[in-house]
Amino acid sequence: MWHLDSGCSRHMTGDKKKIKNLKRKDQGFVTYGDNNKGKLIRIGDVGGRDTLEINDVLLVEGLKHNLLSISQLCDKGLKVIFESDCCTIHQKNSKEIALKGMRHNNIYLIDLDYASFSNITCLVAKEENPWLWHKRAAHIHMKQMNNLISKDLVIGLPKIKFEKDKICAACQKGNQIRSSFHSKNILSTSNVKSIYFSILIAKGLPQSVGPKASPRSAQNT
């Protein structure tokens, strides 16, 4: 496992097995935070093949940890983003994720032995279909979607342009109004109660005697 260290000025490790393309470096020392020094033995590369290759990694005698320098990653044109539970290293030009690490307690760690591009790609699958986001956002208008993007009001909403180039079938059905029923001059029922009620409606219900009296009580008086 490799530690992402913001206070480390160079990539370094004490494990010779982790470095390839080794070159001799017989002079020089590195100074630790407690002012102790470690002797530089060799310099080489780590990663490669299915993962990002990191160059200029120092092999330091007696070093117990594998350290990746954040400043050196940034100097190589990479972008490092830290979140509460993980960290990602992006290619600046393509904006693709090159490496992904996890947080353990207060330390961010990356396992270069298993951080393959194929494993990382599945973690960053994105859907940039505007109409799919239209459905996810409860079918709001495309103008409102563009407004959300311009003001950066929704986390995770892709920076794409929303255009109304077709009609949403669900929105069209939701905006439909049911046609009113047409009146009939003939009875379409043979039920006696229904016929009697239709006659009462046609002639008008009797007026109430009092403000709280029902039509039936007025008829019975």
Token pair listed for 179: 């046609």
Q: Can you give the pLDDT of all 221 residues of the chain as single tens digits?
A: 888 988 888 898 988 888 888 888 767 888 877 778 888 888 888 886 667 788 888 888 888 889 999 998 998 888 898 988 888 888 777 667 888 888 988 899 988 776 655 555 544 445 677 888 888 888 888 888 888 888 888 877 778 888 877 788 888 777 777 777 677 777 677 777 777 777 776 666 556 565 555 554 444 44
Instruction: Indicate if 136 and 115 belong to the same structural domain.
Output: no
> Do 120 and 163 have their domain in common?
no
CATH code for position 23: 2.40.70
Q: How far apart are CA 5 and CA 67, in angstroms?
A: 6
Domain that holds residue 134: 130-174
pLDDT of residue 209: 60
DSSP conformation class of 50: T
Domain boundary, last residue among 64, 98, 124: 124
Position 125 scores a pLDDT of 47
Question: What length is written for the chain?
Answer: 221
Give residue 145's Cα distance to chain centre.
16
Instruction: Indicate the pTM of the whole model.
Output: 0.50
* Predicted pLDDT of residue 124: 47
Backbone angles phi, psi at 12, to 5 degrees: -160, 155
101 in the same domain as 25:
yes
In-domain check, residue 216: no
Q: Looking at the structure, do residues 17 and 62 belong to the same domain, yes or no? A: yes
